Structure 1
Amino acid sequence: MALLTILEYPDEHLRTVAQPVTDFGDQLQTLIDDMFETMYAAPGIGLAGAQVDQHLQLFVLDVSEHQNDPRVYINPVWEALDDERKQMQEGCLSIPEYYAEVPRALRIKVSALDRHGKPFEHEADGLLAHCIQHETDHTKGVLFIDYLSPLKRERVKKKMLKRHKASV
């Protein structure tokens, strides 16, 4: 396995709309394993293909306390189970050290494929539902800061550009 480079905002590749996964061969299996290793090392609780410059409708996540519930979602689609929304603080491995309250559906039903292409669906709420929505947004080129006001987005962009200049 290998650690992958996580793209950081404002990298324009984060805005690329991902393509559906159709090949579940060895290359995809290696990518999934590498994404888990990268996510855990970061450390994070979710990582989408777009964040590692692989523009496939794919993300991995593990919201368990002891990192013992790894989940893979391929070609995910979700729907809200009711109109209730909840604000939760979100962060993103592609926007390090920035957090903001984002409203999302409290309860969802998600349909996806597992790492071998087998369909599954389940209901989710709380942190798991929030993460599924956040990571699915990445497959559409959407970042959590897109839910913020233009002024706050501009502040984040300036902060990230300053961070990049300091690291060069």
Structure 2
Amino acid sequence: MPTRIHVNGREAVVDAALDTPLLYVLRNDLQLNGAKYGCGAAQCGACKIILDGRDVPSCVVPLSAAVGLRIETVEGLARNGRLHPVQQAFIDEQAAQCGYCTAGMVIAAKALLDRSPRPDEGDIREAMAAHLCRCGTYHRIIRAVQRAAARMTP
């Protein structure tokens, strides 16, 4: 049955069962491959998206729960050919190595800065606690979020 969802500022119609994890709909039906399958149990953060302003693991959110809500993926953050300040800060701080977890961390950082424009280091650590990075760039990630916060607040 066709289902309408709102993704990255646009309406999309997908033909998927309502109990399909949103991660699969984004990747398989809409070819939005930024969110990654990591654990499938909301434990690693690789699949994070923003759903109506909250960062959530898309691997455990059924399509039915997203109907009528705004979905943002890492692909939707850049505007007019310019990276979002969080994306640019991750590049500037070399916060990504293999890159597998990066999209989820960028999403979590954006969601944090949307709700708390001037987070302290503790706030950043808490927001990133649900993300696993095998490359160990955590100190760079914290600096990237701090850099993005500085750029985004006057």
| TM-score past 0.5 threshold | no
Q: TM-score w.r.t. structure 1 length? A: 0.30
Q: TM-score w.r.t. structure 2 length? A: 0.31
Decide which structure has greater strand share: 1
